[in-house]
Amino acid sequence: MKKYLYTSLLALCMAFMAGAQTKGPMNANIGHVYGKVVDSTGKGISDVSVVITRSAYDSVSKKKKDLPVKAFITKASGEFNFEELSVFMPLQLKIAATGYKPYKQMLSFQMKMPAGGGAGAAGQGQSGGNAMAGLSAALNAFDKDLGNIKLTTDVTQLQTVTVTTTAKPLLRMDIDKKVFNVEKNLVSSGGTAVDVMRNVPSLQVDIDGNVKLRNAAPQIYVDGRPTTLSLDQIPADAIESVEVITNPSAKYDASGGTAGILNIVLKKNKKTGYNGNLMAGVDSRGGFNGGGNLSLRQNKFNISLATMTNQMRNHTSGTTNRLNYGDTLTHVLQQNDNKTKGGFLFGRLGVDYFVTNRTTISLAGIKVHGKFKPGETIDIQTDTLLNGGKLSGLSRRATTGDREFNASGLQFGIKHNFPKAGEELTADMNYFSGKNEGNSLYTTQYYQGNTVAGTQLQQVVSDGNNRFMTIQTDYVKPFNDQTKLETGLRAQLNHLVNNNETFLQRPGSPDMVKLGSATNNYQNDNNVYAAYVSVTSKIKNFGYQVGLRAERSDYTGELTNTGEQFSNKYPISLFPSLFLSQKLKKQQELQLSITRRINRPNFFQLIPYVDYTDSLNITRGNPALTPEFTYSGEMSYGKTFKGNNSLLFSVYYKYTDHLITRFLDKSTNPLTGKQDLINTFINANSAYSAGAELTSVNSVTKFWDLTTNVNLYNSKINTTNIGNSQDALWSWFGKLNSTFKLPSNVSIQLTADYQSKTNLPVNNGPGGFGPPMQQAQSASQGYVRPFWGMDLAVKKSFLKNNAATVTLSVNDIFRTRKSDQHSESAYFSQDYYRLNNPQMVRLNFTYRFGKMDLSLFKRQNTKNQGGGMEGVNMQ
């Protein structure tokens, strides 16, 4: 029955397209043929006549004769290129050159059903939806590289060029990733990549379009490369599939993608055209955003332009309640009210130049400017318990300031596809530099009763700059349809400069004095060099991938105001990876992956600068930190049911040596000479996390889609090397995403999430150089109390082809998505509570325009369209 359905649909569509040649609703001239004419040594031959002809009946001679369709004269490279060829008309390629024998080759575009007459691979059955997906793929695959055509004195033999395709399942588990075919996803049609991600299992998408994979933000790739494009800048209609990589292999940077990678694979189409969109929005706190992007391809050039601005008005409130233990017991209560305004401006201009049919050069420039004005008021009540009673104090600290940054980037890349299917060489260079400066004033008033008894002023002036450069090259060599080799080199060179000067005017003093002990000027260089090799193969329904990556790094730093220097060289470390895959019947698959990865301490964790702006939250980096190494194992089971219902179940385990984590310890405060609590970073002895994740995607009805994600895990950080360790803790996270499609192009999305009591997250961020008390002390010294939240959005699409969209959304409807943390040690006990932008209402408008062109992003090697086990090609 399924074979009959597929054959009937195929015949019907072919008949329709044939009729379209005369009636016009659908153009069947979508064939694309290209190649290169070479001599016996492989050198390109110029000025060669290449002609495409068709056979036609001559009513005069009563015989068939060849009529020219298109002609081409090769350049010095010997290359030729023909587009917009009929896919139903028999064609012939003829090549004529002085001194060479004429060459002829028959061209025919043939669509073939998959092996088994419509059954999927490995005996898996196909639904009618899968048959339609296979049919669509067949009709869009008429693209053929004829390779190098060698002209010799030998007799030319006619050959037949055949283009084949197979139906693609909606869910495929490749050897090192899970691939979700989304090109026929009607829900996201006319939208952006954000809409696509909402329908991909394992992914969580909030109402603002932020994507999470297992409660962490993954890296975003486009066609195997890191990208600066945001998801809302990529049209949903341009996406063929999404690859979810939860445990990156040796092909990827060993210190990157620890939260996973999402690789967006774009459709392969060679039509010229343009497209773009305009965006604008406002929110209930007075913030606004706007921007747009435009892509244009003509002949050998593709130009893309994107710009965006976001002006924000954030409001955070909360309390900090802490007991300090020591010679005297001190109770401190802070009430915080933080209001920050500011924004950024982003622009990108990119050009792709198609040098030949197989070689593309890409160049893009990026410009970013941002300016923020943080403001905060903290009411502080301090009670000190003495032998004679309690000594109380009340103060209020007001913070004003400016922070500004300017950055520029340059991206350059070359990609060359060899005549052999799947063989390619790429080279990329990314350069990014920026400057920043800031000026903050902290005014603290000390009260006696209702009277101000004294005022202290503290000013922090900062500036810095950075340079980041990455150079890499990758090569892919397929040996046959089953086996391929991938290898590459990479160098990452980083330079950072940071200057901080602190001035203090004590109560009663008329002058602002520079504090040498609290002034820190610092610079550092951090370089990483890497090479990798990976082999992928399969035996029937069993696949494997074995990879090995080698990296070495060095770090040097200097306190430029004191001349003190720090350095460390890490020898070559090896990072193996192993992936196994077994396909089962009835669209089922098992996967197993094992990897080793590294996390190196970042600049803010290493810098020995001490931030005294908040006397209750003194922060300092630790230049003695060493890298942490993580060993990960994951086993997954996937099953696709009828009606686009999917189930994914995974169990995973991660073990980390020398985990980098926050830690609160005692140290001497150079400002006061007293012992104070210092918030810094340490290398814990070890850490582990183990869990199980279940993701279910269901089409409950024609108008109701439901995605459920549950993650149950156990985690522990072992700090016996510096003191006692807290017990391991079982936790779980759940997310429910419900989408209703209503008449008149209206859709409603309701999202709810719940986080149980869990260990504090391991913070690898900037080390506390943000608003005071912004972060909890240590992942090894506390826990997060349970919280939940709910978001709601309503979207309306209108105009022709639903080109315009209006979305009204509200986040944290019940003001419950709080940050409520408890931490303690032998020196303190603290409760930390914050609520950030609750019940924020946003109104956004988007308008798409132009002729959709699915090749506007990147020239691709279109010879591997059958899916299978091919992986992305960049690190």
Q: Which ranges constitute the DSSP H helices of 95-245?
A: 128-139, 193-197
Written as one letter, the residue type at 539 is I
Confidence at residue 167, expressed as pLDDT on a 0 to 100 scale: 41
- CA 323, 328, 334: angle at the middle one, nearest 5? 30
Confidence at residue 597, expressed as pLDDT on a 0 to 100 scale: 87
Is 233:222 a contact under the CB 8 Å cutoff? Answer: no
**What is the CA 817 to chain-centroid distance, rounded?**
25
- Pairing, β 273-283 against β 261-266: unpaired
- The contacts found for 836-839 with CB under 8 angstroms, 24 or more apart, are 836/314, 836/315, 836/316, 837/285, 837/314, 837/315, 837/316, 837/811, 837/812, 838/811, 838/812, 839/284, 839/810, 839/811, 839/812, 839/813, 839/815
Is 856:275 a contact under the CB 8 Å cutoff? Answer: yes
Measured CA to CA, the distance from residue 745 to residue 703 in angstroms comes to 11
Measured CA to CA, the distance from residue 706 to residue 699 in angstroms comes to 6
Q: How far is CA 401 from CA 406, 511, 765, in A?
A: 17, 20, 22
Structure token digits, residue 222? 């486009």
722 Rama sector, left if φ>0, alpha if ψ -120 to 50, beta otherwise: alpha
**CATH fold for domain 273-851:** Maltoporin; Chain A (2.40.170)
Confidence at residue 730, expressed as pLDDT on a 0 to 100 scale: 92
Mapped onto helix, strand or coil, the DSSP state of residue 185 is coil
Measured CA to CA, the distance from residue 433 to residue 187 in angstroms comes to 40
pLDDT averaged per 10 residues, the chain (length 875)? 48 45 49 85 81 78 77 81 81 83 82 43 40 46 79 48 43 70 52 71 61 71 67 68 84 71 69 74 88 81 85 89 84 91 86 88 90 91 80 91 91 90 90 92 90 91 91 93 93 90 88 82 90 94 94 88 82 93 88 90 75 70 86 89 82 89 73 72 88 87 86 86 80 87 89 85 41 41 88 88 87 88 85 89 86 41 32 28
532 Rama sector, left if φ>0, alpha if ψ -120 to 50, beta otherwise: beta
Confidence at residue 621, expressed as pLDDT on a 0 to 100 scale: 82
DSSP label of 192: B
Could you give the count of Cα atoms lying within 13 Å of 631 in the half-sphere of its Cβ? 6
- Could you tell me which of 552, 780, 567, 826 has the C-alpha nearest to residue 682? 780
Confidence at residue 141, expressed as pLDDT on a 0 to 100 scale: 54
The CATH architecture of the domain made up of 171-266 is Beta Complex (2.170)
Confidence at residue 337, expressed as pLDDT on a 0 to 100 scale: 93
User: 340-352: b or e for each residue (b if 16 or more CB lie within 10 Å)?
Assistant: bbbbbbbebebeb
- pTM beyond 0.75: the answer is no
Helix (H) or strand (E) holding 19: helix 2-23
Structure token digits, residue 730? 């079982």
**What is the CA 590 to chain-centroid distance, rounded?**
25
Query: 2-161 belongs to which CATH class?
Result: mainly beta
Is 38:152 a contact under the CB 8 Å cutoff? Answer: no
Please enumerate in sequence order all residues whose Cβ is within 8 A of that of 729, keeping only pairs 6 or more positions apart, or say none: 714, 715, 716, 757, 758, 759, 783
Is 789:750 a contact under the CB 8 Å cutoff? Answer: no
Q: Is there a common fold for 2-161 and 171-266? A: no
Domain spans of the chain, in order of start: 2-161, 171-266, 273-851
φ/ψ of 51, rounded to 5, equals -130, 140
Is 649:615 a contact under the CB 8 Å cutoff? Answer: no
Separation of first and last alpha carbons in the chain: 45
